[in-house]
Amino acid sequence: MELWQLWCLIGVVFCIIEIFTPVMFFLNMGLACFVSGLAGYLGANFTAQVAIFAVFAALFLVFLRPVLLAKSKNADSEYEDKYKDKTAVVVEKIGKDGGRIAIYGETWLAKSLNGEEIEKDTQVKIVKLDSITMFVEKI
């Protein structure tokens, strides 16, 4: 395996890690790895590849990460607008470990806002969203 291929493989690993920890950090590292891999493919030596990685990782973190985080927050606000303060139906009893609700033909993980159990087929109001979990209260 050539060095440029190793850079690309590490870049893929960073991108996979980003999928599971969406903090917009590992994606930047992955992109910097791809740039270093391209430099290696074009003939740069190891020292130059490492320097390119360091420079691009810093640039991506300083300039690209804030843009990606802002886009992520905009996406979250779209979900807030679509689901917050809307009525849903409990399709799987909500206990201390959570349950499931249905809204707009979709099912979502749900937890009670105040920790109470909510029985199946009860109507609830979505009070808060946290990633893929909806916090609800009985109507």
Q: Clarify whether residues 102 and 56 are in a common domain.
A: no
Instruction: Give every CB contact of residue 139 below 8 A, 6+ residues apart in sequence.
Output: 87, 123, 124, 125
Q: Clarify whether residues 94 and 133 are in a common domain.
A: yes
Q: Clarify whether residues 90 and 72 are in a common domain.
A: no
Instruction: Give every CB contact of residue 116 below 8 A, 6+ residues apart in sequence.
Output: 138
Name the band, by pLDDT with cuts 50, 70 and 90, for residue 129.
confident
Which tens digit of pLDDT belongs to each residue from 50-100?
Answer: 999 999 999 999 999 998 887 776 655 666 778 989 999 999 999 888 999
Q: If you search the block for the tokens 């890690």, which residue do you land on?
A: 17
Domain extent at residue 128: 85-138
Query: How many domains are contained in the chain?
Result: 2
Q: Which of 62, 81, 100 is the last residue of a domain?
A: 81
CATH number (domain holding residue 98):
2.40.50.140
Q: Clarify whether residues 29 and 42 are in a common domain.
A: yes
pTM above 0.85, yes or no: no
Which tens digit of pLDDT belongs to each residue from 12-61?
Answer: 999 999 998 878 899 999 999 999 999 999 999 999 999 999 999 999 99
